[in-house]
Chains A and B, each alone.
Chain A
Amino acid sequence: MKMNTDKNWLKNMAEREDGCFVSVGGLVESLEQKEQASNVIPMKPAFVRFVELARRERSLSLEQFAEKVDVDLVELVKIETEASYKPAIRTVHRIAEFLKVPQKKLLALAGLLQMKDPEFQTAALRFAARSAPVEKLSMQEHSDLEEIVKLLCEQ
């Protein structure tokens, strides 16, 4: 395949292309619908619960946690309160760093990375299903938290 070698054509097309969104593919909304309809087990609830429990275990308020982790407080509130909210990758990286868990697995838990590990997905879902109101961590919650941390840190 011989491509056009005309430099003026190249410069002209590059200028006209500048500022355009050049892409082809389905819309985000339809992909979101597809994701919901698919058989992928949603792990996001596990991520939300993990962040909340980890924060409470350290007796930190949302504000204190946001400050310590160096993430936006508004985003942290959204993570803990809005089920459909998708956190920034940087935020998840920071949280992983602060809580000393593998970034890749936490990204998967946050729904930012696809991970084809049915056992991991199922375990994460089970963890999320055992939800409780906002209080000091009980023994069970301590135990649950240890379990998910162990899962995240597994090779």
Chain B
Amino acid sequence: MRTSVLLLHRASGEPVEGELFDEVTVEHFLEAQREWRPIVLDAAKRLVEAGAAKEEIPRHWHWDWSSKESDLRVLAYGFVGIAYEGRLQGLMKLETAGRSGRIAAQKGKPLVYVDYLETAPWNIKQIASVLGAKPKFGAIGTRLIEAAVRRSLEEGFKGRLGLHSLSSSERFYLDVCGMTAVGKDPAKQSLLWCEFTPEQAEKFLAGGTA
């Protein structure tokens, strides 16, 4: 699947046409590894040295996409990428089997689980600014969550979505997307389990939040 997707070009404030695709390959993993991680590492170190608050420091720089190659052949896993002019801007890994809702009303009902989601560091304000630049594109995270919700609809899960949020990302999933905070999960480093009901997913796609 390849489809056009509008992204916000920050410098001009205008929408530009990017590409959303699910035919993710090892090359995309390597591109993320090669181009994103050094920038995130560098920015994180500078933020630590500058005495930035804990929640301002990116905490995802140890992700190793190169170990995900075998996952490409597993049916229960889905990958989504966003690119602009051939350059990767966001990457996401979904699980489409084996996960179910924890909100009482949807306990036991399958949902799409977002296992990994990462935007290119030059699109993140805190990282771009510590490196003396302005973020390049906006709404990459929103587009990836939108793609995950649409995948949930395609699977017959009615938009149900679940993920474990890093503490620094909770504001985005709860306030911006409108997910429900279900509770800290002791089985997953006490990260916050967030979930979309079908109604919340529909509202998110339509542009509102709960």
* A21 pairs with B116, CB closer than 8 A: no
User: When each residue 20-41 of chain B gets 1 if its CB lies under 8 Å from chain A and 0 otherwise, what string results?
Assistant: 1000000000000000001001
The chain A residue with its CB closest to the CB of B140 is A22
| B65 shortest CB reach to chain A, Å | 10
* B189 pairs with A29, CB closer than 8 A: yes
* A26 pairs with B188, CB closer than 8 A: yes
Is B106 positioned at the interface, with any CB of A under 8 Å from its CB? no
Provide the residues of chain A in CB contact with B164, threshold 8 Å: 24
Provide the residues of chain A in CB contact with B63, threshold 8 Å: 25, 31
A61 to B15, CA, bound (A): 54
The chain B residue with its CB closest to the CB of A89 is B38
Is A139 positioned at the interface, with any CB of B under 8 Å from its CB? no
Chain A interface residue count: which class?
A: 35 or more
Within 8 A of B (CB), among A1-59: 1-7, 9-32, 35
* B8 pairs with A11, CB closer than 8 A: yes
Provide the residues of chain A in CB contact with B62, threshold 8 Å: 28, 31-32, 35
* B205 pairs with A1, CB closer than 8 A: no
* A90 pairs with B154, CB closer than 8 A: no
The number of A-B residue pairs with CB atoms under 8 Å apart is 134
A77 to B43, CA, bound (A): 21
Is A99 positioned at the interface, with any CB of B under 8 Å from its CB? no
* A3 pairs with B169, CB closer than 8 A: no
The residue that B45 contacts in the complex, of A7, A19, A31, A88, with Cβ under 8 A, is A88
* B150 pairs with A1, CB closer than 8 A: yes
* B169 pairs with A24, CB closer than 8 A: yes
A/B interface sample: 21 pairs, CB < 8 A: A2-B150, A7-B6, A10-B8, A13-B142, A14-B10, A16-B176, A17-B140, A19-B125, A19-B126, A20-B141, A22-B144, A22-B172, A23-B117, A23-B119, A23-B169, A24-B114, A24-B116, A24-B118, A26-B189, A27-B189, A28-B60
Q: A1-B20, A1-B147, A14-B142 are in contact. List 14 more A-B contacts (CB 8 A).
A: A2-B3, A5-B6, A14-B8, A16-B176, A17-B138, A17-B172, A20-B169, A20-B172, A23-B58, A24-B165, A26-B189, A28-B59, A30-B189, A88-B45
Which chain B residues have a beta carbon within 8 Å of chain A's beta carbons?
1, 3-8, 10, 13, 15, 20, 38, 41-42, 45, 58-64, 66-67, 92, 114-119, 124-126, 135, 138-144, 146-147, 150-151, 154, 163-166, 168-169, 171-172, 175-176, 188-189, 191, 205, 207
